[in-house]
Amino acid sequence: MAVFTGAGVAIITPFTENNQVNYEELGNLIEYQIAEGTDAIIVCGTTGEASTLTHEEHLECIRYTVDKVAKRIPVVAGTGSNCTETAIYLSQEAQKFGADALLVVSPYYNKATQKGLEEHFTAVAKSVDIPLILYNIPSRTGCNILPRTIANLFKNVDNIVGVKEACGDVAQVAEMMQLTNGEIDLYSGNDDIIVPIMSLGGKGVISVLSNIAPGPTHDMVYRYLEGDVAGSLNLQLKYFPLIKALFCEVNPIPVKKAMQLMGFNPGHLRMPLTEMEPANTQRLINEMKAVGIKIAE
């Protein structure tokens, strides 16, 4: 059984004016997501600025999210690191807090070999008793988890059950699905190709778009699963310009700006991320209005 089916939000981490984690606002965002039909909360991922959280903040965000969600939908905790021992530590702590599953990114900067990747993910997975979803995003990590490596991990490690694929190469994803007999739980890591990934047997998406359009993102997946491929495609194409605007600067700069425009309180970005350029902000506003997202006065 998949950890979740549908649209999981890669939730942002809001900060206060003095650059501390704003847990009250995080709670508000969680309640908004659940009310709008999101199928899972993914906390402390790329969109959650995990790379600039201290270990203490990282773990407290996971603990807070698990407690706030209270088993209403699954919570997937981002616990990846470029240090295997750190990934093991974060993963074990997340399990203690009650996370339903883990999202573990490939080691960044080190640029491990495929053998190194297999050993890394195996060690992390075997240190816990909950499901693990691999996260392949070579554009950020400088390291591509190849289809054969994913297949080997899926076949040889019982609790490696899925993959968030953000390689952007649909042919590579197809090869991976062929090598796993279509049995691995596949989630799109790119909002602009949800429908193509669904066509390869995807279970859904781990989404940035869901932060500001949770209902439509959920519907995009479920219409496809229910056989309404045309309806799913219509939503993909409708939101395509907005998705592009959400990535016109590095994630999560645009999505935090979008949430601010909607009246949420996402707070600052932690450096080295900086505020959005005015021209890109206007582009974002235009695309938000085009799909009917209200801009707060």
Q: Tell me the pLDDT tens digit for each residue of 93-131.
A: 999 999 999 999 999 999 999 999 999 999 999 999 999
The answer to whether the CB of 75 falls within 8 A of the CB of 69 is yes
Phi–psi pair at 181, nearest 5 degrees: 55, 30
pLDDT, tens only, 150-163: 999 999 999 999 99
Domains of the chain: 6-226 (3.20.20.70)
pLDDT in tens, 231-289: 999 999 999 999 999 999 999 999 999 999 999 999 999 999 999 999 999 999 999 99
Candidates 136, 166, 168, 140; CA nearest to 149 is: 136
Helix axes 55-69, 23-35, angle to 10 degrees: 40
Predicted pLDDT at 209: 98
Burial of 75 (0-12, 13-18, 19+ CB in 10 A): buried
- List the alpha helices (DSSP H) in the chain: 23-35, 55-69, 84-97, 114-126, 138-141, 147-156, 170-179, 194-199, 214-225, 229-246, 253-261, 278-290
Reduced to 3 states (helix: H, G, I; strand: E, B; else coil), residue 17 is: coil
* Inter-residue contact 2 to 203 (CB < 8 Å): yes
| Whole-number Å distance between alpha carbons of 167 and 116 | 19
Instruction: Quote the distance between the C-alpha of residue 139 and its chain's center.
Output: 15
Task: Tell me the per-residue pLDDT of 56-99, one tens digit each, with 9 for 90 and over.
Answer: 999 999 999 999 999 999 999 999 999 999 999 999 999 999 99
Return d(Cα 29, Cα 291) in angstroms, integer. 21
The single residue of 32, 68, 164, 294 carrying the catalytic annotation is: 164
**Are β-strands 40-43 and 75-78 bridged in parallel, bridged antiparallel, or unpaired?**
parallel
Catalytic residue among 68, 135, 203, 239: 135
User: Can you give the pTM of this predicted structure?
Assistant: 0.96
Tokens of 145: 């988890």
- In this prediction, residue 297 carries a pLDDT of 73
Q: At 46, is the secondary structure helix, strand, or coil?
A: coil
Torsion of Cα atoms, 51 then 54 then 60 then 65, to 10°: -10
**Would residue 187 show up in a list of annotated catalytic residues for this protein?**
no
The structure tokens listed for 17 are: 């004016």
**Is 203 one of the annotated active-site residues of the chain?**
no
Largest Cα separation within the chain, whole Å, is 54
